[in-house]
Amino acid sequence: MQRLKDKVAIVLGAANRDNMGQAIARRFATEGAHVVVAGRHEAELKRLSDEIGGAFCLCDITSSSDLGQLVDFTRDRFGGLDLAVNSVGWALFKPYLETTSDELQRIIDLQFKGPFQFFQAVLKTMRRGGSAIQIGSISSEFLFPDHAAYMGTKAGMDHVVRSLANDFGSRQIRINTISPGLTETPMTADLNAVPGLVDLFLKCYPLGRHGTTADVAAAAVWLASDECFMTGQTLRVEGGLSLRGHPMPEDLQALLSQ
């Protein structure tokens, strides 16, 4: 069943091999969408676009001109825009008192200002009945040590999404957030490599495992499909982690300080 047949999609943040953006792009293509993958690494974007039969466009989320060119490229190539996903992120783990001004500005640009401007660019021209998706994080609701700047910018975009869903509902455009828990991605590779960390998290998952990019992609397909009657919401794709919360801070600190 091709639930996204002939829809046109942008997936931004798909330039690192096997990250969430790539998993979403593959699933969208499998479901029949015409997919433009975007990010900052041309060789990997070209490889992925060739694999899925789509197209690629270089784009830095911190550049408003790049974002405008991405939308123009998509419309010129495929005749319109129905779906847009932002999966750009930076896993900044830094004690609050040690976070520098440069680091704070960088994560604001990547995880708040950039996404804000991304949705401005895509919503100007998205067709009636479209769907826009922000990849957030369960840590915007359930706290994680030494993660304040990351959590704050993700939480800020959660509220922007709610606002946009209210503003653009009259065009039948749905705008939602997917909030994963700890997921196997290139961005979390260093964290997942800490001895004992995955086992510590597994105790907090009622479903007995942490998430995969395939889990996130499956949720994105439903949010993008015409079957979805949900907007302005956060869809927690985290195996029940929010029922129990993250591991205790002292247990995490003990592992991360080793």
Q: Is residue 53 part of a domain?
A: yes
Q: Residue 191's pLDDT is what?
A: 66
Count of domains observed in the chain: 1
Q: Is residue 67 part of a domain?
A: yes
Task: Please give the Cα distance from 35 to 207 (Å, whole number).
Answer: 32
Q: Residue 233's pLDDT is what?
A: 98
| Positions in the chain short of pLDDT 70 | 187-193, 248-258
Q: Residue 258's pLDDT is what?
A: 61
Q: Is residue 156 part of a domain?
A: yes
Rounded (5°) CA angle 210-225-129: 135
Q: Residue 166's pLDDT is what?
A: 98
Q: Is residue 32 part of a domain?
A: yes
Q: How far is CA 86 from CA 57, 107, 134, 245, in A?
A: 14, 15, 5, 25
Q: Residue 142's pLDDT is what?
A: 82
Q: Is residue 54 part of a domain?
A: yes
Task: Please give the Cα distance from 106 to 229 (Å, whole number).
Answer: 35
Q: Is residue 88 part of a domain?
A: yes
Domain residues for the domain of 13 are 8-187+211-241
- Strands in 131-135's sheet, in edge-to-edge order, are 55-58, 34-39, 8-12, 83-86, 131-135, 174-180, 234-237
Q: Residue 186's pLDDT is what?
A: 73
Q: Residue 188's pLDDT is what?
A: 67
Q: Is residue 236 part of a domain?
A: yes
Q: Which of 67, 58, 54, 47 shows the shortest CA–CA distance to 27?
A: 54
Q: Residue 1's pLDDT is what?
A: 72
Q: Residue 252's pLDDT is what?
A: 65
Q: Residue 257's pLDDT is what?
A: 64
User: pTM of the prediction?
Assistant: 0.92
The CATH number of the domain holding residue 37 is 3.40.50.720
Q: Is residue 51 part of a domain?
A: yes
